[in-house]
Structure 1
Amino acid sequence: MVTLNLILIWLSFYLFYLTSKKAQIARSLPIEKWMHNHAPIAKVIGTVLLFLSLSVSISLWGVGSGSLFFFIILMTLGSLVTIISPLRVLNYVSISAISILSFVLEIILP
């Protein structure tokens, strides 16, 4: 469940990143270009995902700890997105592999 929450936070912040006019969308997937061109829809989807991940955090750890976890992870992943995305260091294959490995380890090691 933590991995799902991290993916939701990353995806929501990445949607907000794609709506920026300064974002470099030169070599990307068609869905990224579409989200960049349709910024209001991407912002609504990003907001819904942020509130969903906040509610998941609160349901897992309570109001205080869940909110703190959410905002710390939001700041961390937001910094990583703004630093690493323009460099094109990570692609969707590596992010998917890291997410699957994290999910498997979360299930195996409770």
Structure 2
Amino acid sequence: MKTIIFFFIFIGCYTLYNSSEKAYLSDSFSLQKWIQSNRFFTKITGVILLLIGLFLSIAFFGLSAGIITWIVATSLFLSLIILITPLRVINHVSLTVLYMLTFLIEFFF
């Protein structure tokens, strides 16, 4: 459940980052091209994904711990996205493998 919560928060932060006009944008992935061309819809989608992550976090951790966890995860993901995305160190394949691995570890343990 934690992996799903963090996935929603990460995707929400990433869509909001890619819909920004001031950010360093790359169009190496077709989803990024679509996100950058539909900025208004992407911003709404990013906020909805962040709210879904907030509600799931509150449901899983409780009210105060869920809000604190969401704030910490959101600030962590935003800072990592802003720092690492321009370097092009991590791509969508490595992130998919990382999330699948953490989901399997969480599922079995």
Q: Among all aligned residue pairs of Structure 1 and Structure 2, give the percentage whose two residues are the same amino acid.
A: 30
Match of 1:14 in 2: 14
Q: Please state whether the residue corresponding to 1:86 is helix, strand or coil.
A: helix
Match of 1:78 in 2: 78
Match of 1:59 in 2: 59
- Aligned-partner residue type, residue 78 of structure 1: L
Match of 1:105 in 2: 105
Q: TM-score, normalising length from structure 1?
A: 0.94
8 Å CA contact 1:9, 1:50 repeated in 2? yes
Choose 14-23 or 81-90, whichever is displaced more: 14-23
- Aligned-partner residue type, residue 41 of structure 1: F
Q: 1:19, CA displacement in angstroms? A: 1.0
1:54-93 C-alpha deviation (Å, 9 max, x unpaired) = 0000000111000000000101111000000111100111
Give the gaps of 5 or more residues in structure 1. Answer: none
Give the gaps of 5 or more residues in structure 2. Answer: none
Q: Report matched runs for 1:24-43 at 5 Å.
A: 24-43=24-43
RMSD: 1.0
Q: TM-score, normalising length from structure 2?
A: 0.95
Q: Please state whether the residue corresponding to 1:21 is helix, strand or coil.
A: coil
Choose 49-58 or 24-33, whichever is displaced more: 24-33
- Aligned-partner residue type, residue 38 of structure 1: N
Q: 1:27, CA displacement in angstroms? A: 4.1
Count of equivalent residues: 109
Match of 1:5 in 2: 5
